[in-house]
A and B are shown apart, each in its own frame.
Chain A
């Protein structure tokens, strides 16, 4: 565990110094860090003893892990994973049963207060039987492991905000990590799933600088979640010109016009999809012809329909408004009739003024 990352890269994987520095450049630019830090990242990654990482999976679909592994060898993201000491990850580890749990205990004892905890999946707060691992409920496991961690990375929208299990009616009482653990630094890497390089980028940042990256108000690293998809979308010029696809197979869609009217949530979604893209920068959903569904935002599943445009009122509003108008109109007319009656009465009651009764008498 004490072998440095640099040594392992050279000796075990035959990665050249040049390739390694290239990876460091990519990391630095993707996180908007000054190029002068590239040597520092390289130095830190080369010299740092392998960081112990415990990965806990709760109510999740393994999509986040899949996302990470899809960026596998020979890309450099996977190398980072090799360089951390992934001491516990029940999907990826070879050990099973008691041996697996023992590995976790050992790692916790050996690196008490220093290991990094990565969580994917939300935690059920209803019946603990909804999700247990080795007979331990998720919430107990989270509390125990989190107590000795230096920091927690909540990977995926489920761990960060509750995600799909949290969606209405939330049968398991699913909550995010930050709703249970409040005394540890938590970084939310939301997305369903998150972009692989964002996960590796944040881990590299922690190893390199030893501090948390700058976060937005939802606990997400600003370097990846600082701008919304819409502002960086290559279809934005069509939006500005008012050119919209009205249907997925109309002429506008074929010409690549803006998908706003087809329900794209780009304007309210903060993520790096439009710039980093997916599958090694090949494409992203909007480029593939489908609007953004807003997966990196809290409650995206309950936000009113993936194909409903943002600015259209939700169902029933129009009818409700009509009824309110009718009721208001009826009240107004009734009040008007009453007032008119009152005034007619006042006019009828009014006595003609003559010069003899201009002054009060007595």
Chain B
């Protein structure tokens, strides 16, 4: 294996330019609408954060390698070839100020999928060795240890023991033939163990069989964030192999945005084959159970609540109604933020931004958008369905001195379950 180098990066960028990318660059009308869609522009008013500007290195490669105009420009000295320093300078735009939230893709009047392009551009950055250190370390841990935060199975086992003790339920591990295979994010194991407990209660309540897998409990995918299909493929394959071995019907993505994108939307393409099982986000599973009448809740939260939509769920996955239907069964004072649903504003630290140390100040600055959104509706509690959003919200509230509890929707549902199991369903 050779080391990262500019020529490797350039080669990778060249290889990334497919028909959609060429069409997108050709059809860009330079209207600048994507700027107003980007959190990093609206909160800083700095034009360098305009999404299409973040794609300049990739655009240069496309123009100079694949178009006649670009070749003529180069011959006549009207453009300079891409150089290493340019890529290094662009790290700030390609990683630090882009959460791959996809809001720009939605507003583009000519339909350019800008977040798809940035995702592809990151492939070149990785090969050139310009990925941020924080993400490189996370990726290394994910591959070698099994989790980007370095969580190993024994840590999970300890949590399982706690839960079994608290609830009296068995938390199944490596159960062949279970209906659902549950996956987690390290964040949930370390910071929000209540998530796993909630799942145990819910599956018991609904009378569904489920399991964890000792070799593939971690669903987050640093390969997607850093922008390396090779690493992403390796991580996805662990989950796919486990699900196939355990012969489960459904692989459940945790409360995590990009983990869902990785396995649900990029997974099969990375593997180059169709899955033998279904992939659902936990919210999709819960909504399905609710519709089947297998999720009976009682009591209503009285606090004024809103729901923060994780970008990957609403904009990649279209999971918009599910959380609202679920939340309304347990909350009587549910209000929507402005731009809620598919145009919701990102928390500011998705797509790996949270792992980049140099991006910390910027990430806190752009959180102003979320603060204004929430101030406008005067809520007491924020509910979300992504552990990364959740930690970002908590850190953001602390930075802006706001007292605001943040809840995971799955736990909230679990708290309101009717105590005795739904006996009529148990016979099915």
Contact = CB atoms under 8 A, between A and B. Distances in A.
A355 B231 contact: yes
Contact of B231 (A346, A347, A353): A353
Q: Which bucket holds chain A's interface residue count?
A: 20 to 34
B126 A353 contact: yes
Interface string B1-35: 11111001001101101100010000000000000
A343 interface: yes
Interface in A328-362: 335, 339, 342-343, 346-347, 349-362
A87 B281 CA distance: 105
A65 B228 CA distance: 89
Contacts of A346: 11-12, 14-15
Contacts of A350: 8, 11-12, 15, 127
A165 B136 CA distance: 84
Given A342-B65, A343-B17, A353 B127 contact: yes
Contacts of A354: 1, 230-231
Which one of B15, B68, B136 has the greatest number of beta carbons of chain A within 10 Å? B15
Nearest to B142: A355
Contacts of A356: 1
Contact of B3 (A343, A349, A355, A357): A357
Interface in B117-160: 126-127, 129, 131, 136, 139-140, 143-144
B11 A360 contact: no
A100 B139 CA distance: 109
Given A351-B1, A353-B231, A359 B136 contact: yes
A357 B128 CA distance: 9
Interface residues of B, number: 29
Contact of B129 (A343, A347, A358): A358
Contacts of A355: 136, 139-140, 143-144, 231
Contact of B4 (A347, A349, A352, A357): A357
Interface string A240-276: 0000000000000000000000000000000000000
B116 interface: no
Interface in A298-354: 335, 339, 342-343, 346-347, 349-354
A362 B2 CA distance: 12
Nearest to A350: B15
Nearest to B129: A360
B66 interface: yes
Interface in A158-214: none
A189 B188 CA distance: 93
B4 to A, nearest CB: 5
Contacts of A342: 14, 65-66
B140 to A, nearest CB: 5
B144 to A, nearest CB: 7
A11 to B, nearest CB: 80
Contacts of A362: 3
A356 B136 CA distance: 10
Interface SS, B side: helix
Contacts of B2: 351, 357
B220 to A, nearest CB: 15
Contacts of A357: 1-4, 129
B139 A335 contact: no
Contacts of B17: 343
A349 B140 contact: no
B3 A360 contact: yes
A139 B298 CA distance: 109
A25 B261 CA distance: 87
Interface in B21-61: 22
Contacts of A359: 3-4, 129, 136
B330 to A, nearest CB: 42
Contacts of B143: 355
A356 to B, nearest CB: 6
A339 B14 contact: no
B136 A360 contact: no
B129 A353 contact: no
Contacts of B144: 355
Given A342-B65, A354-B230, A359-B136, A349 B11 contact: yes
Contacts of A347: 15
A360 B5 CA distance: 7
A355 B381 CA distance: 40
Given A342-B66, A349-B11, A358 B140 contact: yes
Which one of A342, A353, A361 has the greatest number of beta carbons of chain B within 10 Å? A353
A357 B3 CA distance: 5
Contacts of B15: 343, 346-347, 349-350
Contacts of B8: 350-351
A181 B214 CA distance: 103
A349 B8 CA distance: 9
A347 B1 CA distance: 16
A354 B3 CA distance: 10
A358 B126 contact: yes
Contacts of B5: 360
Contact of A361 (B3, B65, B230): B3
A354 B140 CA distance: 9
A356 B12 CA distance: 17
A5 B421 CA distance: 122
Contacts of A349: 11, 15
Contact of A358 (B12, B14, B139): B139
Interface in A33-62: none
Nearest to B143: A355
Given A355-B231, A358-B129, A358-B139, A343 B4 contact: no
Contact of A343 (B14, B136, B230): B14
A251 B344 CA distance: 65
Given A342-B14, A352-B230, A358 B131 contact: yes
Given A339-B66, A360-B3, A360-B4, A353 B11 contact: no
Contacts of B131: 358
11 contacts: A335-B68, A342-B14, A349-B15, A350-B11, A354-B230, A355-B140, A355-B143, A357-B129, A358-B136, A358-B139, A361-B3
Interface of A: 335, 339, 342-343, 346-347, 349-362
| Nearest 5 CB-CB pairings of A with B | A346-B14, A346-B15, A360-B129, A347-B15, A353-B230
Interface of B: 1-5, 8, 11-12, 14-15, 17-18, 22, 65-66, 68, 126-127, 129, 131, 136, 139-140, 143-144, 226, 228, 230-231
Given A342-B66, A353-B230, A358-B226, 5 more contacts: A342-B65, A354-B231, A355-B136, A357-B3, A359-B129
